[in-house]
Amino acid sequence: MASHRRPKQPSRARVTVLTTAAAAAVAISSQAANAAPSEKPSKDEVKAKVDKLYEEAEHATEEYNGAKEKQGKLQKEISTIQDNVARGQEDLNELRDSMGLAAAAQYRTGSIDSSVQLFLSSDPDDYLDKASTLDQLSAQQVESLKKVQEKQRELAQQRAEAAEKLKDLSSTRAELGKKKQQVQAKLAEAQKLLNTLTAAEKAALAAAEERASRSSAERVDLGNTAPASGRAMAAFQAAQSKIGSPYVYGASGPSSFDCSGLTSWAFAQAGVSIPRTSQAQASAGTRIYSQSQLKVGDLVLFYGDLHHIGFYAGNGQILHAPRTGTVVRYESINNMPFQFGVRI
């Protein structure tokens, strides 16, 4: 006779797990069914986002340029101080050697005068404070001792100054690395967006960019606007010779440029030294707030934070290095928010 056993009931824990899993599956299915299908951004939407990222990258680029310029300046200052310290140490050694020779000579004769005792003292300042000792020193001996002390103080001050600048240099290098990472991150994000486009969409964007980037042989109508000055015109002509050169962040010529790299390089060709960054160049000359008063060769600043700069070319046109993915070219001054011009 067959035995009838009661089926084994699942444990409470197993029931709970199964119930939870089933509920989760139902919820996920419901969400998937109700969620609107994700739409791929259009070519124009991608371009707008990429342009915004490029603008942010250019802003970071100018900060990078500022940190790089500061680094170079600090390195030169530190090098000068270190050279001065080295020469000062040689002078101090010579003074000590000459006094040491005098001490040796007096020792051989059996007497060391007060000036040499002063030199050998562990506390020369205290010794010099003693009027009786000063009375015993000749004017020449006093002068020699003062030179030693002055040189010691000078070297201590220079070494302290060098130490401070080295600390500043270290923090500047850290800032430089941070800004470089910011630029690279923005450019990488922009490239990632561009990679979502089809081959046809990429070709369409490239064609539009090609139309905007006029070759050096094709000149826009610049009108007959007078140059700001002979040197400003020379700088503008130097920039004209670089039409078609690619934009590269942090570059200042001669084969690639960022916006302020082009303007600083061009003025250097005209024999004029101006600061490296757009923000600093904004204060390098007389500001002109009316577009109607601009002349060829004037610098033109854009955006509220002044992170973009170019040359006024005449007839409402500028000559500049726009952004990543473009080349040095002419463009309408109205394509960006104009702030003011600067006449060097």
Whether the Cβ atoms of residue 183 and residue 64 lie closer than 8 Å to each other: yes
Give the Cα separation of 314 and 297 in Å (integer). 9
Torsions phi, psi of 290, nearest 5?
A: -105, 125
Per-residue tokens: 274: 């101006």
Give the Cα separation of 186 and 57 in Å (integer). 6
Whether the Cβ atoms of residue 251 and residue 259 lie closer than 8 Å to each other: no
Per-residue tokens: 188: 């990488």
Could you tell me which of 127, 169, 133 has the C-alpha nearest to residue 149?
127
Give the Cα separation of 219 and 199 in Å (integer). 31
Q: Count each helix (H run) and each strand (E run) in the chain, helices first.
A: 10, 6
Q: Which residue has the tokens 């800004």?
A: 179
4 noted as active-site residue: no
Q: Is 318 helix (H, G, I), strand (E, B) or coil?
A: strand
Distance of CA 260 to the CA centre of its chain: 11
C-alpha Rg value of the chain to the nearest Å: 36
CA angle in degrees (0–180, nearest 5) for 128-111-146: 25
307 noted as active-site residue: no
Give the Cα separation of 302 and 321 in Å (integer). 13
Which of 4, 59, 259, 307 is flagged as catalytic? 259
| 43-109 vs 139-194: helix crossing angle, rounded to 10 | 160
| Residue 63 CB partners (closer than 8 Å, separation 6+) | 179, 182
- 3-state per-residue secondary structure call for 198-255: CHHHHHHHHHHHHHHCCCCCCCCCCCCCCECCHHHHHHHHHHHCCCCCEECCCCECCC
Which of 4, 59, 307, 320 is flagged as catalytic? 320
Residues carrying an active site annotation: 259, 308, 320
